[in-house]
Amino acid sequence: MVSIPLSVLKNVAIRLLNVSANRVSNSFGGETLLLDPTVRLPKINRLYELAKDNQWNYSDYEARARKDDLTQLTKEERVAISRVVSQLYYGERGALLTSSQLATMVPDQESSAFLTTQSFDEARHMEVFARMASRLDQLHPVNPFLQLLLTDLLRTTSLIEKMIGMNLLVEGLALSVFHHLIKVFKSHPRLQTAFDQVLIVEPVEAIVRDESRHVGFGMLYLPELAKKLSMRQRIQVKARQLLWLALLYGSVKYHEKDAALVGLNYVDILTKILGDHDKRVQEMGLSVVLSGGKLHHLIPVFDGIINTLLQQEIVVQQFDGLQAA
């Protein structure tokens, strides 16, 4: 019988315990605690540094606004803008939750750190739009298309799907919408008071700078991630994008009348969104990301579906109103 030294048995037992402990820990996400702090993605680390250098506070804008310099918008315009702004609030809420999820999913320290700054940015944007909506009228309910989009985005466990949905589609939409809002609001005849410029236009310009970083992160990170996809995964990713693009379209069209009241044309907004999205897709050179052109020939189909849903919602609201009476 061969005698094994006690010291050898002890070393083997320790190694087995370490392996088992690591497996158990990793099954609960423990590997995220062990990310290598060495910077491997310098461009993303640069975005992280920019995020730290470009923080701002909405309270500073409020402090600059004269309390007696009130908006000249009509009641109808204030309600319409507050309904649109409310959707921006919910979009930022979804972005906060999704970026927090992504921060625990990426396998490198600099991306995790950047996504944490994005979560903080989204919390600030939520504060801005909540206060803005309340100042104009009130925070209105989320529209059903946006709710479906954000719910599905939060539910997916795929890193690349979640990142395409958030840092390319949702943040890309937000960036395009904000650019369009600034352009229209700067020329709106009843949005020229210092109150409106300081509390509405200037904060949105600051948000644009934040959103540019968020979209930039997705454009830097996605190409490398896409290389690892199988053909089946590519098909799944494209199918989900088609659903999300349709829901984005529905979310914008849902507020067509509100947008028109303040000089915003939803067709112009959609054209801007899809055009900007296509430029980003071309710049990345990713075949896995759908272009906006894929959506154009489906717009009549989406219009029919959306108009039917909107009509059903109007009927439900009328019935609820009768019941309340």
Question: Residues in the chain, how many?
Answer: 325
**pTM for the full model?**
0.82
Tokens standing for residue 260: 């028109």
- Average pLDDT value for residue range 293-297: 63
Q: What is the pLDDT of residues 226-248, one digit of tens each?
A: 888 888 888 888 888 888 888 88
Q: Tokens 């650019």 sit at which residue?
A: 179
* Least-confidence region, from 45-49, 87-91, 147-151, 319-323: 319-323
pLDDT of residue 320: 42
Q: Tokens 């914008």 sit at which residue?
A: 252
Q: In a 3-state reduction of DSSP, which class is residue 99?
A: helix
Rounded Cα distance between 179 and 201, Å, is 10
- Between 28 and 104, residue with greater pLDDT: 104
Output the CA torsion sign for 259, 263, 268, 269.
negative
Residues near 280 by Cβ (< 8 Å), separated by ≥ 6? 168, 172, 215, 219
* Least-confidence region, from 160-164, 169-173, 187-191: 187-191
pLDDT of 322 above 70: no
Q: What is the dihedral of CA 67, 180, 296, 215, to 10 degrees?
A: -90
Rounded Cα distance between 134 and 132, Å, is 5
Annotated domain spans of the chain: 40-291
Q: In a 3-state reduction of DSSP, which class is residue 285?
A: coil
Residues near 43 by Cβ (< 8 Å), separated by ≥ 6? 220
Read out DSSP for 10-64?
HHHHHHHHHHHHHHHHHHTTGGGGG---S---HHHHHHHHHHHHT---HHHHHHH
Instruction: Report which of 214, 101, 93 is spatially closest to residue 157, judged by C-alpha positions.
Output: 101
Instruction: Report which of 136, 241, 258 is spatially closest to residue 195, judged by C-alpha positions.
Output: 136
pLDDT of 29 above 80: no
Rounded Cα distance between 244 and 241, Å, is 5
CATH topology of domain 40-291: Ribonucleotide Reductase, subunit A (1.10.620)
pLDDT of 193 above 80: no
- Average pLDDT value for residue range 43-66: 92
Q: Tokens 């219009």 sit at which residue?
A: 303
Q: Tokens 């999300």 sit at which residue?
A: 244
Rounded Cα distance between 146 and 112, Å, is 26
Residues near 72 by Cβ (< 8 Å), separated by ≥ 6? 190, 191, 192, 193, 196
Answer yes or no: are the C-beta atoms of 208 and 178 closer than 8 Å: yes
Answer yes or no: are the C-beta atoms of 164 and 242 closer than 8 Å: no
Q: What is the pLDDT of residues 62-107, one digit of tens each?
A: 888 766 556 678 899 889 989 999 999 999 999 999 999 999 999 8
Q: What is the pLDDT of residues 272-293, one digit of tens each?
A: 787 888 888 778 877 777 666 6
Q: Which helix (H) or strand (E) is 109 found in, with range?
A: helix 109-136
Read out DSSP for 177-223?
HHHHHHHHHHH-TTS-SHHHIIIIIHHHHHHHHHHHHHHHHHHHHHH
- Between 50 and 247, residue with greater pLDDT: 50
pLDDT of 40 above 50: yes
- Between 142 and 238, residue with greater pLDDT: 142
